[in-house]
Chains A and B, each alone.
Chain A
Amino acid sequence: AQTVTQSQPEMSVQEAETVTLSCTYDTSESNYYLFWYKQPPSRQMILVIRQEAYKQQNATENRFSVNFQKAAKSFSLKISDSQLGDTAMYFCAFMKRGSGGGADGLTFGKGTHLIIQP
């Protein structure tokens, strides 16, 4: 079984600053995906960014980027030029690559509540 740990229950930064959310995971799988999801008060989980474990290059999506350290089993999220709309819960998630086709269930961390101050 795999575990995902987010050690920062809450973080607060000023608008336009850069913030980094931490995530570590433990697994014996060699083929897997890692994700960061955003959950606003509406409760819907929104995909922010994904990383395939076999890719060495860190994923980037506009203001969002990750620092993926496979040997250290670390997967942090950096948000640049933070905006008020970034305020939400952020969850790190793990998914092993399914052998029979299709996506497996996700294993989530406990989340980090990110607050962007005006």
Chain B
Amino acid sequence: EAGVAQSPRYKIIEKRQSVAFWCNPISGHATLYWYQQILGQGPKLLIQFQNNGVVDDSQLPKDRFSAERLKGVDSTLKIQPAKLEDSAVYLCASSLVTAPSANYGYTFGSGTRLTVV
């Protein structure tokens, strides 16, 4: 079974530039998540989609971050304009809606490491 695919793996940009990250979840996984992991900390949930609808975006800095999941499959996370404090690893994860006894198949990608200089 193919895992959660993310690209790019690394990205370096200057502050005030824009950047976009892409995520392709596991086939059949209706729920998709974006997490931000700052160095030395655990991941923090930014946004959760179920199919193409937003379930939770309470921790997404909406003045500069946006995300979409067109057609309920792939997702894109964008930052515009970037700040130095946005330097982090951005992890995407996906899960099933059913099967609570099996961890919902919750699976993470390998993330994109963003450096803002």
Contacts and interface: CB of A to CB of B under 8 A. Distances in A.
| Chains A and B form a bound pair | yes
Interface of A: 4, 33, 35, 42-47, 50, 91, 93, 97, 101-111
B56 interface: yes
B65 interface: no
Interface stretch (B14-22, B78-86, B88-96): B88-96
11 contacts: A43-B113, A102-B31, A102-B55, A103-B95, A103-B103, A105-B33, A108-B42, A108-B43, A109-B42, A111-B40, A111-B42
A86 to B, nearest CB: 19
Given A42-B110, A102-B97, A105-B56, A110 B42 contact: yes
Contacts of B104: 102-103
Contacts of B96: 102-103
Secondary structure call for the A interface? loop
Interface residues of B, number: 31
Contacts of A105: 33, 35, 45, 48, 56
A102 B108 contact: no
B116 to A, nearest CB: 18
A102 B44 contact: no
Contacts of A97: 100
Question: Which 6 pairs of residues, A with B, have the shortest CB-CB distance?
Answer: A108-B42, A105-B45, A103-B104, A45-B108, A102-B97, A103-B95
Contact of A47 (B45, B89, B103, B111): B103
Contacts of B95: 102-103
